[in-house]
Structure 1
Amino acid sequence: MKMSKSKTRTLHCLWLFLLACLCSASLANNAKINFREKEKKVLDQILGQGKYDARIRPSGINGTGPAIVRINLFVRSIATISDIKMEYSVQLTFREQWLDERLKFDDFAGRLKYLTLTEANRVWMPDLFFSNEKEGHFHNIIMPNVYIRIFPNGSVLYSIRISLTLACPMNLKLYPLDRQVCSLRMASYGWTTADLVFLWKEGDPVQVVKNLHLPRFTLEKFLTDYCNSKTNTGEYSCLKVDLLFKREFSYYLIQIYIPCCMLVIVSWVSFWLDQGAVPARVSLGVTTLLTMATQTSGINASLPPVSYTKAIDVWTGVCLTFVFGALLEFALVNYASRSDRAADMHRESIKKKRRDMEQASMDAASDLLDTDSNATFAMKPLVRHPGDPLALEKLRQCEVHMAPQKRPNCCRTWLSKFPTRQCSRSKRIDVISRITFPLVFALFNLVYWSTYLFRDEEEN
């Protein structure tokens, strides 16, 4: 009997505990319901009809002066940076915060931290606009990405997610070794600085997502500044963010610079081909020239038509000149080879005449010997025979005087060191080209990269 009584008491205690928990839970639920009802009453109290006018701006500090609006941004992504349109697209979370003492309310001992609204037209809003905006839109999937929080002291926080396409004037003189500064400007449209002032939020006014990835650029840094503008209607408050982008050079190195170098080197193969291989040398020169011209036109198609010379223009122009020079070199070689053939034919004709004259002199000498053997006295002819040795000597002297006198030259001295000094002029042109073209191209590369890699943007 004692054990049964103790069990019944334990069961009664458990039942009482459960009833107490249920009662407390129901009271807490009722309190929450009542608390939500209090939020509704607070909203009706501060934003009720005839109690708050959203058309009137809030007063400044201590009830006087302009309204102070503090701004901060969170850059979610940067989609594209277009060189030809000179614009960039960005998606960001935009936040504004200001104080409106008309919206103060009782926080019920800290239980009501803030009130949340989704309708921006119920409170006064700053008339901010993006001055360098081309296009923009809000995000409404699944619900409009916007909220307004009202704090007990009357502070208002407005946050919205927007996508913008902004103008970005670019200086392409150092393209593709350049850095570009793209700005995001925010200003007041109607309120002057006497009524409304924009300030950056203290601490961390601009935030950027950590895994920001751009295909051809790298975001090096960003700077915040003020850009107040004065017009004939007054001075307007303005804020700006300067985003410094560095162009990724590896893409252009693989797609432009290395192929151009290869085309120039391929054009030099013509110097090592035989002079008589006219179809091979002509086709090689024309093919590389057309390929280089196509490469240049493809590069210019992706850039705006600017009035100044870009770094890529210097590179493609010089490479095109080298390829064209290799084609002209073959024309010079072909002309020199024809001159060499004509000179060889002329020398052969002179040698033939000389052999004929030597043969005639030998025949005349034999005739004289026969005449001396038959007669004691012989008369010397008044006119010498063409085969006479004296006539041959005079002919040689005339040839020496008629030949052009060559003056000593350092270039000829240098060329005499090569084993091809006995070769024709056309062969010498090929030998000089094999050495000169690579040396000049290497010198150009040295000057080009030292000029553009260590050149400051401020010089432009």
Structure 2
Amino acid sequence: MTPGHYMLWAVIYFACLCSASLANNPRVNFREKEKKILDQILGQGKYDARIRPSGINGTDGACTVNVNMFLRSISKIDDYKMEYSVQLTFREQWLDERLKFDDIGGRLKYLTLTEANRVWMPDLFFSNEKEGHFHNIIMPNVYIRIFPYGSVLYSIRISLTLACPMNLKLYPLDRQICSLRMASYGWTTADLVFLWKEGDPVQVVKNLHLPRFTLEKFLTDYCNSKTNTGEYSCLKVDLLFKREFSYYLIQIYTPCCMLVIVSWVSFWLDQGAVPARVSLGVTTLLTMATQTSGINASLPPVSYTKAIDVWTGVCLTFVFGALLEFALVNYASRSDRAADIHRETMKKKRRELEQVSLDAASDLLETDSNATFAMKPLVRHPGDPLALEKLRQCEVHMQPPKRQSCCKSWLSRLPTRQCSRSKRIDVISRITFPLVFALFNLVYWSTYLFREEEDQ
């Protein structure tokens, strides 16, 4: 072969390599082509972003927008303000036949825009939004993809603070439903309809962590609203949160139980230890009141009674009751002392009267010289009834004492009429207060736990 033939084959081989390179790298080698297509479909006088797309098959029906989202995080759920904050990637997809273009044999999959004002956009807004902002670091987190058959995909990352009306009757054994509502602001259902994307419209990031809640499940639904200006399409997502009870068990319920039990220590102190019993009662009462105030400060002032209000109220009543019990014991002890003094005074007077009577009788006997006295025998006969009775009593005392059972031994410690009233009050309080508190716990937990299961 001549050198010219070799040169021809080299040119052909080089051309084949270039064509293969173009086929393997369409995104790199079609940038200029994309620019021409964008100028062709979005050029001045060719596309008007103020006019909504037509309906299905080019009819005048409503434009259908499919919505889906990816829930990235939930930063907080505020009980006092009744709101929660989320960060999500929000997506909308619709068909705009005016944006069709040639995909060059399937090599051009889609066109990408970063300016949302270049094409028509649905006027969607979040109806229960309080605050919100876009993310612009390092570049605005937004893009628009235009597909060859005219489909438009809009994606943006946003952070929202949304209202979440809460029912706190079972707090902190409650479940809350927080919604995210999206609706059209100006286009009625005759022009624009929002639909959830088929399949998996809402996605949640794995290992979603919340400090005091657990996301149990979420539900998608429709919430079209009718106003004086027409009916508007609306979508909503209901997020079901369960409150984590372990935090409240450690921070609220256990300290309150400990304070109530500490207040019972005064029942075991001596009745005369007035400073110790008063200090213990007042300290526990003030601590319990401070605990209750701290709990209420983190919750909104609602008109109904919450489960935590019942708990703190009863615990405060028990602590206050222990303080009142000491006041009753102190009053009863002073009454007992007055009664003892009166009793001793009466005994002393009775002994004085008996002594006076004996002195008068002895004087009378001494003056009576004709009186005769019957001498009692110093030794009684065996058949004497008094001697037999004394012998029987000695035998009883000589017998070993019988061993009492545990129940009888415990029952023997209960207050009797021989005990003072103040002592009886203390002993009865040692038994009554724990029993009543245990009964309250049984009723409280069974009531609110069953109500929680019914509300599921």
Coarse TM-score class (shorter-chain normalised): 0.7 to 0.9
1:219-255 Cα offsets, whole Å, 9 max, x none, are 0000000000000000000000000000000000000
Report how far residue 375 of structure 1 moved: 8.2
Aligned to 1:98: 94
Aligned to 1:6: none
Aligned to 1:404: none
Q: 2:445 pairs with 442, 449, 458, which one? A: 449
Report how far residue 154 of structure 1 moved: 0.6
**Unmatched 5+ stretches in structure 1:** 1-12, 377-414
Q: 1:63 pairs with 41, 58, 63, which one? A: 58
Aligned to 2:79: 83
Aligned to 1:146: 142
**Aligned pair 1:218/2:232, yes or no?**
no
Amino acid at match of 1:202: E
Answer whether contact 2:173 2:452 (CA < 8 A) is retained: no
Aligned to 1:120: 116
- Decide which moves more: 54-63 or 193-202: 54-63
Q: 2:320 pairs with 324, 328, 331, which one? A: 324
Q: 1:195 to 1:345 in 2, by over 3 A?
A: same
Report how far residue 371 of structure 1 moved: 2.6
Aligned mates of 1:276, 1:17 — CA distance in 2 = 120
Aligned to 1:297: 293
Q: 1:34 to 1:429 in 2, by over 3 A?
A: closer
Aligned to 1:396: none
**Aligned pair 1:39/2:34, yes or no?**
yes
Amino acid at match of 1:285: G
Aligned to 2:270: 274
Structure 2 counterpart SS, 1:455: helix
The correspondence of residues 16-415 of structure 1 with structure 2, limited to 5 A, is: 24-27=16-19, 32=26, 35-64=30-59, 65-373=61-369
Structure 1 counterpart SS, 2:355: helix
Structure 2 counterpart SS, 1:454: helix
Answer whether contact 2:178 2:240 (CA < 8 A) is retained: yes
Aligned mates of 1:147, 1:310 — CA distance in 2 = 47
Report how far residue 357 of structure 1 moved: 1.6
Report how far residue 372 of structure 1 moved: 2.3
Q: Percent identity?
A: 87
Aligned mates of 1:95, 1:457 — CA distance in 2 = 36
Q: 1:448 to 1:17 in 2, by over 3 A?
A: farther
Report how far residue 63 of structure 1 moved: 1.9
Answer whether contact 1:173 1:308 (CA < 8 A) is retained: yes
1:37-70 Cα offsets, whole Å, 9 max, x none, are 2211111111111111110000111222100000
Aligned mates of 1:215, 1:167 — CA distance in 2 = 19
Amino acid at match of 1:192: T
Structure 2 counterpart SS, 1:181: strand
Aligned mates of 1:58, 1:291 — CA distance in 2 = 67
Aligned mates of 1:357, 1:195 — CA distance in 2 = 115
Report how far residue 438 of structure 1 moved: 0.3
Report how far residue 419 of structure 1 moved: 4.9
Answer whether contact 2:65 2:94 (CA < 8 A) is retained: yes
Q: 1:72 to 1:23 in 2, by over 3 A?
A: same
Q: 1:375 to 1:456 in 2, by over 3 A?
A: closer
Answer whether contact 2:22 2:29 (CA < 8 A) is retained: yes
Answer whether contact 2:174 2:452 (CA < 8 A) is retained: no
Report how far residue 29 of structure 1 moved: 5.7
Aligned mates of 1:193, 1:458 — CA distance in 2 = 38
Answer whether contact 2:53 2:95 (CA < 8 A) is retained: yes
Answer whether contact 1:179 1:457 (CA < 8 A) is retained: no
Structure 1 counterpart SS, 2:443: helix
Q: 1:276 to 1:123 in 2, by over 3 A?
A: same
Q: 1:375 to 1:142 in 2, by over 3 A?
A: closer
Structure 2 counterpart SS, 1:373: coil
Q: 1:166 to 1:373 in 2, by over 3 A?
A: same
**Unmatched 5+ stretches in structure 2:** 1-5, 373-409
**Aligned pair 1:434/2:415, yes or no?**
no
> Taking structure 2 as the reference length, what is the TM-score of the superposition?
0.86
Report how far residue 353 of structure 1 moved: 1.3
Aligned mates of 2:229, 2:223 — CA distance in 1 = 17
Aligned mates of 2:357, 2:149 — CA distance in 1 = 131
1:162-186 Cα offsets, whole Å, 9 max, x none, are 0000000111111111100000000
Q: 1:371 to 1:130 in 2, by over 3 A?
A: same
